[in-house]
Structure 1
């Protein structure tokens, strides 16, 4: 399956899962709205029943003839606050009893707070907060038609309620539309419907976890695929790097193993020098691989010392020049500062300079020309290595510092290497708490900039 096909499948799968999430969210929202509507209807019916019972009680006990428009007795002031107009005095004990009873009958198992409006003082009084587990401590609802029994029950209510509630002000809002009314507030009304949609939350949460796991799985798959490709390229480069010196050593050893070679001392010297050079080259490559493995396994400990940056870079360039065997190149050094000292590990810092200069020479079609500049800004010190090489495309500039990564060139392997040099450079720069950036050289090639904070 091609890479594009995999991407299309992943995109379609992602949109499918997101579509399911949106559908779940739509149904969840509708469920919440329906439950809110159901709560409002149940509350209105319960409060209407309470108003009816209060009116019936007053008619039985006091012979009241007050008429209440019961269908319109309940008025919703806010999302969780209702007032009920009864057009006559309200007994606090009876009100509490009827509220608890009717809320149970309508399955309204929520906390609530009630209060009665005192028209004389224009305040909400007799307030009380009841939880869903509270039960009525007053007598049962009166059904007797005998006035003496009603009056006896009323005295019981009064005696009980005087010990329970004082005529104190309550914090519920006042409604100016009515004179004789009570208010009921539901501070935690969301509990009524949240428990009923709990399953929807669980399902949506599970789907969200599935999407996150799906995304993480895709990330791991692509990462492993990329690492597999990098590893494959590394093995190919390793084979090419080792094959050349091994072949040269094998050929030279066969030549010098011929007894007649002693008759040609110049030829013998030539092949022994080839063996020596290729052995050193092979050893250097092995050391590079082992060095990177050691850094990863044991960690890198820096031996920081104060160094004069200008003289250090200048000396490192001079040492690099002596290591090049007859290669044609030009390195020009320029410093805008006379003396600036920084803390650095001299061994690893010099290796960083060596690697950058070595890459500038290797990846150049013509005669390499490198401009090294040390300059200072308000915030930092910068070392720039500007070359006239083949350049680095923008999409590869962040990737070149990855281990084993080499810019793809198809089956052409003009420049040998393992892709370890810039990985090493990046690690050393990071351990120093510095930065390294890559940009285009205006003329041709690339500019590597080491940024050292002040």
Structure 2
């Protein structure tokens, strides 16, 4: 399973997790609404029981909705006749009715006199396990043309939420499980990606060393022939081939070791004033054998370049330019490389532009990752480990600079290194 397929699986799993979370939150909202309605129903039932226990109604109406109203979520008003009952008796029966219908939260009771337009008395009904201070509550006054008793539940929401403890606990467990699943999926994807990177590196490593070793083996077999001593030109030719392949393998091994040695620490940068044109010319000189082999054209542009100087590490900066030149030459059939330098937005830039195969947009963001190479199927006609651009980026970042890439498939690629002046 490739990482692209796994990525789609993870996206689908993420969508399903989000869907489950959404459904669970919606279900919690439904349960919360149900508990609120249940609370209202139980309070109304308690008031109806109070009417049955005591003769307090000011009208013979049998419709409870005509006697009870709830002007706000925490308040309930029910009509009573002005005289003929004791406040203490009403509170006593009301407390029992509330307990019978499982309204187990504290409440304030107020007795409203329509003629006075205010509460004539107030009492507090504590909950069984509550410890609240009733003196901190002030009852809202609702102007009505009749006497009524008000019930105010200051901790209604806390009580309703407490009734949902099971749902909260189950939701919390579900969220923990989903988070754990998400972490496992992410870790699995990361391990899968690293495994693919390692596999690609092994493939690149194999193809990088297989051809030189095969050439050296054939050359050694030729040199072991007895008649080779009588053919000095042939002897020199195959000895030179072995030397060239040995140097190539040695340089690749040294590059790997250098990358490994600098993997966990900063690059040893020693900055001095460096003429930019001199760095470019030395880099071109180092890739001259490759230039001749590819019959390439390398141009150094910008006549004002001799005046450019940069505070940088000469060795590492030159190595960065060499890496970009090698890529420009390797990925072009008839290479035409243009190197230029200049100033841009307060930075000094060095540009390496080629007419190679180009890089698709979707691959450009991964170019500077270690061991990454643009996919080419089973074709390995270009050698390398996918370390060069990663090392170039590290060199530039050590100089507090940046690198940009602009590429069009079939037209060419430009790498632009920018350094602060």
- Same fold (TM > 0.5): yes
Do the aligned partners of 1:126 and 1:170 also contact (CA within 8 Å) in 2?
Answer: no
- Counterpart of 1:103? 98
- The residue aligned with 2:320 is 352
- Unpaired segments ≥5 residues, structure 2: none
Query: Structure 1: how far apart are the matches of 2:310 and 2:50?
Result: 84
2:42 is the counterpart of 1:42: yes
Q: 1:184 aligns with which of 129, 144, 151?
A: 151
Determine whether 1:243 maps to 2:237.
no
Alignment pair present for 1:319 and 2:282 = yes
Q: Name 1:172's counterpart in structure 2.
A: 139
Q: Are residue 394 (structure 1) and residue 388 (structure 2) matched?
A: no
Counterparts of residues 10-409 of structure 1 (less than 5 Å): 24-50=24-50, 71=64, 72-88=66-82, 96-117=91-112, 122-124=117-119, 132-133=127-128, 171-257=138-224, 261-296=228-263, 298-303=264-269, 305=271, 307=273, 311-312=275-276, 314-324=277-287, 325=289, 326-327=292-293, 328-334=296-302, 344-377=312-345, 380-409=347-376
The answer on whether the counterparts of 1:435 and 1:450 sit within 8 Å (CA) in structure 2 is: yes
Partner of 2:302, secondary structure, is: strand
Question: Secondary structure of the equivalent of 1:334?
Answer: coil
TM-score, scaled to structure 2: 0.80
- 1:411 corresponds to: 378
Deviations 1:398-446 (A, max 9, x none): 1222222211222322211111111222333344443322213699201
* Matching of residues 426-441 of structure 1 within 5 Å: 426-440=393-407
Largest Rg, 1 or 2: 1
- Mapped partners of 1:449, 1:429: distance in 2: 11
Say if 1:126 and 1:169, in contact at 8 Å, map to a contact too. no
Distance 1:135 1:240 in 2: 77
* Alpha-carbon separation, structure 2, partners of 1:408 and 1:20: 37
Count of matched residue positions in the alignment of Structure 1 and Structure 2: 412
- Shift in Å at residue 290 of structure 1? 1.5
Contact 2:284–2:325, Cα closer than 8 Å, also in 1: no
Change (3 A) 1:175 1:46: same
Aligned partner of 1:154 in structure 2 is: none
Shift in alpha-carbon separation, 1:73–1:204, aligned structure 2, 3 A:
same
**For 1:77, what is the secondary structure of its paired residue?**
strand
Distance 1:118 1:306 in 2: 93
Match of 2:416 in 1: 449
Q: Distance in 2 between matches of 1:239 and 1:221?
A: 27
Instruction: Answer whether contact 2:6 2:189 (CA < 8 A) is retained.
Output: no
CA contact (8 A) 1:387 1:441 kept: no
TM-score normalised by L of structure 1: 0.75
* Deviations 1:8-34 (CA, angstroms, capped at 9, x unpaired): 876776666666555545544433332
1:284 Cα offset (Å):
0.7
Whether the aligned pair in 1 keeps the contact of 2:46 and 2:98 (CA below 8 Å) is yes
Asked whether the equivalents of residues 51 and 84 of structure 1 are also in contact (C-alpha less than 8 Å), the reply is no
> What's the CA shift for 1:292?
1.8
Residues 28 and 200 in structure 1, CA contact (< 8 A), matched pair in contact too = yes
Q: Which moved more, 1:36-45 or 1:119-128?
A: 119-128
Q: 1:195-224: CA deviations, max 9, x gaps? A: 343333333444444444444444444443
How far apart in 2 are the matches of 1:337 and 1:69? 102
| Contact 1:355-1:422 at 8 Å conserved across structures | yes
Give the SS at the match of 1:108: coil
Root mean square deviation of aligned Cα: 3.9
**Contact 1:51/1:73 (8 A) holds in 2:** no
Q: Distance in 1 between matches of 2:76 and 2:306?
A: 82
CA distance in 1 between partners of 2:122 and 2:303 (Å) = 83
